[in-house]
Chain A
Amino acid sequence: MVQYAALRLPSALLVLVLASVVIFGILRLTPGNPAVVLAGPDANPATITSIEHDLGLDQPLPVQYLRWVQGLVTGNLGHSYVLGAPIATLIARGAGNTLELTVGAMILALLLGLTLGILGATTRNRLAQFLLMVVNTVTFAVPTFISGVVLVLVFAVTIHLLPPGGQLSLLKDPSLGIQFLILPALCLALPVSAVVARFLQTSMRQVLQEDYIRAAVAKGLKRHLILLRHALPNALPPVITVLGIQVGQLLGGAVIVEAIFAWPGLGQLILHAVLSRDYLLVQDLLMLGVLVFIVLRTAAEILQAGLDPRIRLMG
Chain B
Amino acid sequence: MAQAGAVDIVRVPDRLAFTRNRYLRALQTPRGLLGLGLVGTIVLLGILAPLLTPYSPTFQIRLQELLPPSGTHPLGTDELGRDLLSRVLNGIRVDLIVAVVAVPAAAILGCLAGLLGAAGPGWWDTTIQRAFDVILAFPAIILGIAVAAILSPGERAIVVTILLANVPIFGRLSRDALISQREREYVVAARLIGVSPVRVLFRHIFPNVVDPLIVQLALSMSLAVFLEGGMSFVGIGIQVPQPSLGNLLNEGLPYLATNVNYAVGPMLTLTALVVGLNLIADALNAGVLRR
Contacts and interface: CB of A to CB of B under 8 A. Distances in A.
30 contacts: A15-B130, A31-B152, A138-B275, A140-B278, A141-B222, A141-B271, A141-B279, A142-B271, A142-B274, A143-B226, A143-B229, A143-B270, A143-B274, A145-B233, A146-B267, A149-B249, A149-B263, A153-B256, A255-B142, A255-B145, A255-B234, A256-B234, A259-B233, A259-B234, A270-B145, A274-B148, A275-B149, A286-B138, A289-B138, A293-B134
B140 to A, nearest CB: 7
B270 A146 contact: yes
Interface of B: 130, 133-134, 137-142, 145-146, 148-150, 152, 222, 226, 229-230, 233-234, 246, 249, 253, 256-257, 260, 263, 267, 270-271, 274-275, 277-279, 282
A6 interface: no
Given A137-B275, A146-B229, A248-B139, 19 more contacts: A30-B149, A30-B150, A137-B282, A141-B222, A141-B271, A141-B278, A141-B279, A142-B271, A142-B274, A145-B233, A157-B256, A251-B139, A252-B142, A255-B141, A256-B141, A256-B233, A271-B234, A274-B148, A286-B146
A143 B271 CA distance: 8
A143 B274 CA distance: 8
6 nearest CB pairs, A to B:
A252-B139, A293-B137, A141-B278, A274-B149, A141-B275, A145-B233
A140 B275 CA distance: 8
Given A30-B150, A157-B256, A255-B141, A137 B233 contact: no
Contacts of A153: 256, 260, 263
B130 A143 contact: no
Contacts of A293: 133-134, 137
From DSSP, what is the main secondary structure of chain B's interface residues? helix
Contacts of A216: none
A197 to B, nearest CB: 14
Contacts of B140: 252
A150 B267 contact: yes
Contacts of A256: 141, 230, 233-234
